[in-house]
A and B are shown apart, each in its own frame.
Chain A
Amino acid sequence: MSVEVSRLTQALELGMNEQEYRNVLEILGREPTGTELAMYSVEWSEHCGYPRSRPLLRMLPKAGKYPTIAEEDAGGIAIGDGLYVVFKMESHNHPSQVEPKQGAATGIGGIIRDIFTMGARPVALLDSLRFGELDTDLGKHLLQGVVDGIQFYGNCVGVPTVGGEIYFHQSYRDNCLVNVMCVGIAREGQLATSKARGVGNPVYVVGNRTGRDGIGGCSILASHEFSEDDQKRPTVQIGDPFTEKCLIEATLEMLASGAVVAIKDMGAAGITCSTAEMAAAGGVGMDVDLAKVPMREKGMEPWEIMMSESQERMLVVVEHGREAEVEAIFEKWGLIAENIGAVIAEPVMRVRFSGEIVAEVPCASLAAAPVYHLPAEEPAWLAPLQQTDLSALPDVADGNAALLALLSSPNIASKRWAFEQYDHMVQTNTTVPPGAGDAAVIRIKGSELGLGLTADCNSRYCYLDPYLGAQIAVAEAARNLVCVGADPAAVTDCLNFGNPEKPDRFWQLKRAVEGIAAACTALKVPVVSGNVSLYNEGPDAAVFPTPTIGMVGVLQRIDQHCTMGFKQSGHQVALVGVTRPELGGSEYLAVQHGLEAGMPPALDLNAEVAVQHVVLEAIRRGLVASAHDCAEGGLAVTLAESAIAGNLGVSVALTSVEGRADMALFAESQSRIVISFDQRQTHALAALAEEMGADFHLIGSVGGDRVTILVDGAQQVNLPLDTVTAAYHTPLYAAMGEA
């Protein structure tokens, strides 16, 4: 076999295609070395270089109500008071399917590093999780493992896990989704950059030693779909939260010293990615000697060192002459800080190993992955599915049973089993904890400002219509923020889709990105950071298209926050918004009729904006006592959840929709919020709604120890609050064998 053929074989094994290999030949004008080939394979993988999704991502708006910071490891916004919020969501799906505890744990570690590498102190975590059915052994095993990984890592590093979501659906059976979001706060002058500069400045590896874990994790594990008999365990990294905690403190202390020129997290593709991208961003080059990298084991090859995804490491360009300061800080925290090379003027990555040059490539070529414009095609099965005739379905026969079935559906039931395993209070900023509101609220010490935080996506809607579903994900995230009193401010997205090389999957991705772009533009919220996770497929099918939306909102005054629980007997209950005749894609349809069909509920972005304005303004003026978005399960579930959270009964009277009670109770029409308030505020609220052009209907009152709902005067639901509460709170404990 000739050298070229064997190198090509090697390239294919590393996940590259033949054309990409030819491109490398052209760039270098010669055969690549093994190390060089490894570097290109990871940098051009979907996980690092986004060659397949980049053309779509340009559609997303980058500017909004608040000044935006983008183009670093994470994005952010300036919120006033000299404060910056930096945040990002990232997936760790494939590692979690293979090894759920370490997969989730290292996902948390990685996203936290993305935040503090920007000079921001991590203040909150959220996770959006999706598994196969909860009544399967695999589903339980993955849920248990992932939650264990999140608590193992998040609790130890002292960053509170304040929110998130958990859904179960068979499409995730062979490919769970673990999307983790971290939020950090930096003050004026604290933001750091990853742009390397200053010829002669030393380059340091800091944090942990480098081992053989996670080699090729991004190119092999994250950029291909799962097939039947995969052996991928060695590509999952192992996390050490104690080292991460020390690394957070050491890094922030080092950044405060002013001795740092540039810094970047070593995540996917380890040293390769961090060196090449820092140099490329700064328009300079780097010359590093891998023999100087502190190793965990002996005999590692240069390409292994370049590709290792050992956790808890950062790459730092230090100002020449201030090396001792940096080394002293890391010594204090018991961490490694090793000078492995320097910034050079020539824009190349020169990699040595014990004197020998093992790689020398132009930095820009590594950072500029090829771009693919893939064909998109609407799947043929979609239109018939959307047009499913739902009018022939019988109306709800037993409202009590239907409501209890929905409340105990794993997708709606309380997630307390998970979030009480997370330290959601550390840092003493958690103002609205998990389970208390539609979003989490944290305060910012020393400021009147607060942050609302949420992560949302209804992937069934995206399956039925990726454009509309993605729009709804954005609208619902914003609505959730409004319900806690936060002004929706900016988005991070995590796009989980199937194999983009299949035109129907790529169509879903394309339509979803268009939907996000349209909704974000209408709501004036920019997308400041994000992550794309493709190839989420098992042997049978792709996951439901899942564009998870992480959104951050701003409370101008933290004391003006709101929760979802009813507060007082005698308070009035009103619906802001309108219930429409739409059962398509609803949880009710899935639970009661075993159907996942029809069109998702319609979304009128103007109506959405009006409803959000009314409720946000009402909360700011102190007019309302509780606010809760209508989502899965519709109005009946929303009312029950507010009753459960407030431990107070509720009694309401609704009118049927097109003569049907099921639609009044369980339709998932968008742009609806249930509020409760003192009777004396009724007039002010009605006037506010009219002024903003939103619908406002008084539907009942808080009180008693039952949940009672009439439709057209007929009793549809009449249940003791205790029964409703038990149905909502026990399912996850019961499924996990703890009830």
Chain B
Amino acid sequence: MKFGVVIFPGSNCDADCHDAILAVTRQEVRYVWHEETGISDIDCIVLPGGFSYGDYLRCGAVARFSPVMGEIVRHAAVGRFVIGICNGFQVLTEAGLLPGALYRNDCLKFVCTPQPLRVERTDLPFTHFYAPRQVVDFPIAHGEGRFFADPETLARIEGEGQVVFRYCTPDGQVTAEANPNGSLHNIAGICNAGGNVLGLMPHPERRCDRLTGGTDGKKLFKGLVESLLLRSISRR
């Protein structure tokens, strides 16, 4: 399996994602410059965190016009995997690959802190290594992570089971106090209807090493590799 980590000007979690995925999965990982258009070798594209184009205008609003984004839309359309983390999630919503939008945190501050999340779906390639309703700690580090969608879209996201992670208390309660940014329904991460595009504000790549805070993120990347492996075996 091959991962590709996109670098937009202003990305700053590209190396973190690259190093974490490489260490956890021992699969091939390469960088993809945002002007590149040949990504057919890649099974899973990762849009990393950071401040693409300085987040000027609106988070992710400029990056979605990068040449690589057209390829990523096609890549997603054929069922290949896409993960957008933090700024990458913002880019995916701007590009229309995921519904909703990320607004300024309701506390009006950038917040960097460990954050418990409840895994809402465990039937996805990204999450099948987690237990149903398992509480994991992926830290957040963002100023604009308040998930918003109009009532109709929100109902559809909930109805179709597209919510993958919700902000919760350490014992798994989804409460207003556990919501760090005012996201609707405590939504921290969602997938598309096809389940092959995942976007989340928290950083799983920052929880892939015991030394730097924990290993709750490992299962996301490991699970993905295994499901791809199973898929290719079943095809044979």
Chain A residues within CB distance 8 Å of chain B: 151, 155-158, 240-243, 245-246, 333-334, 419-431, 433, 443, 445, 558-559, 738
Contact = CB atoms under 8 A, between A and B. Distances in A.
Q: Is the interface on chain B under 10, 10 to 19, 20 to 34, or 35 or more residues? A: 20 to 34
B209 interface: yes
Nearest to B51: A156
B109 to A, nearest CB: 6
Contact of B9 (A155, A242, A419, A427): A242
Contacts of B211: 431, 443, 558-559
A426 B139 contact: no
Given A245-B12, A445-B19, 15 more contacts: A151-B110, A155-B51, A156-B12, A156-B51, A157-B12, A242-B54, A245-B10, A333-B9, A421-B110, A422-B110, A425-B141, A430-B212, A443-B212, A558-B211, A559-B211
Nearest to A248: B12
Contacts of B209: 428
Contacts of A431: 211-212
5 contacts: A155-B141, A425-B212, A425-B213, A428-B208, A559-B211
A158 B50 CA distance: 7
Interface of B: 9-10, 12-13, 15-16, 19-20, 49-51, 53-56, 107, 109-113, 139, 141, 143, 203, 205-206, 208-209, 211-213
Can you list the 9 inter-chain pairs with the closest CB atoms, starting with the nearest? A158-B12, A242-B54, A156-B51, A428-B16, A423-B141, A423-B112, A151-B110, A420-B113, A421-B110
Contacts of A428: 16, 19-20, 205-206, 208-209, 212
Name the residue in A241, A333, A421, A558 with the highest tally of chain B Cβ atoms < 10 Å from its Cβ: A421
Given A425-B206, A559-B211, A158 B9 contact: no
Q: Which of B51, B53, B208 has the most CB of A within 10 A?
A: B51
Nearest to B53: A242
A104 to B, nearest CB: 14
Contacts of B110: 151, 155, 421-423
Contacts of A241: 51, 54
B55 A156 contact: yes
Nearest to B12: A158
A242 B141 contact: no
Nearest to B139: A425
Contacts of B111: 420-421
B87 to A, nearest CB: 10
A561 to B, nearest CB: 9
Contacts of A157: 12
Most buried by A among B50, B55, B113, B211: B211
A419 B141 CA distance: 11
Contact of A242 (B13, B19, B51, B206): B51
A351 to B, nearest CB: 33
Contacts, number: 85
B112 A422 contact: yes
Contacts of B19: 428, 445
A426 B13 contact: yes
Contacts of A433: 213
B16 A427 contact: yes
A430 B212 CA distance: 6
Nearest to A428: B16
A246 B143 CA distance: 21
B125 to A, nearest CB: 23
Contacts of B113: 420
Contacts of A420: 111-113
Contacts of A445: 19
A337 to B, nearest CB: 15
A243 B143 CA distance: 19
B212 A426 contact: no
A738 B143 CA distance: 16
Contacts of B212: 425, 428-431, 443
B10 A156 contact: yes
Contacts of A425: 112, 139, 141, 203, 206, 212-213
Contacts of A429: 212
A155 B143 CA distance: 10
Contacts of A559: 211
Nearest to A157: B12
Contact of B112 (A240, A424, A443): A424
A242 B109 CA distance: 19
A509 B15 CA distance: 43
Nearest to B20: A428
B10 to A, nearest CB: 5
A246 B206 CA distance: 23
Contacts of A426: 12-13, 16, 49, 141
A421 B143 CA distance: 9
Contacts of A419: 112
B115 to A, nearest CB: 11
Nearest to B50: A158
B36 to A, nearest CB: 12
Contacts of B139: 425
Contacts of A151: 110
A102 B41 CA distance: 44
A415 to B, nearest CB: 13
A266 B69 CA distance: 36
A465 B220 CA distance: 56
A244 to B, nearest CB: 10
Nearest to A151: B110
A426 B12 CA distance: 8
A155 B140 CA distance: 13
A738 B141 CA distance: 19
A164 to B, nearest CB: 14
Nearest to A446: B19
A421 B112 contact: yes
A340 to B, nearest CB: 24
Nearest to A333: B9
A584 to B, nearest CB: 38
A32 B49 CA distance: 52
B97 to A, nearest CB: 24
A86 B54 CA distance: 27
Contacts of B205: 428
Nearest to B205: A428
A419 to B, nearest CB: 8
Nearest to B180: A420
A426 B208 CA distance: 13
A443 B56 CA distance: 32
A421 B140 CA distance: 11
B13 A158 contact: yes
A429 B110 CA distance: 20
A155 B113 CA distance: 13
Nearest to B13: A426
B9 A246 contact: yes
A242 B16 contact: no
B139 to A, nearest CB: 6
A531 B86 CA distance: 37
Contacts of A443: 211-212
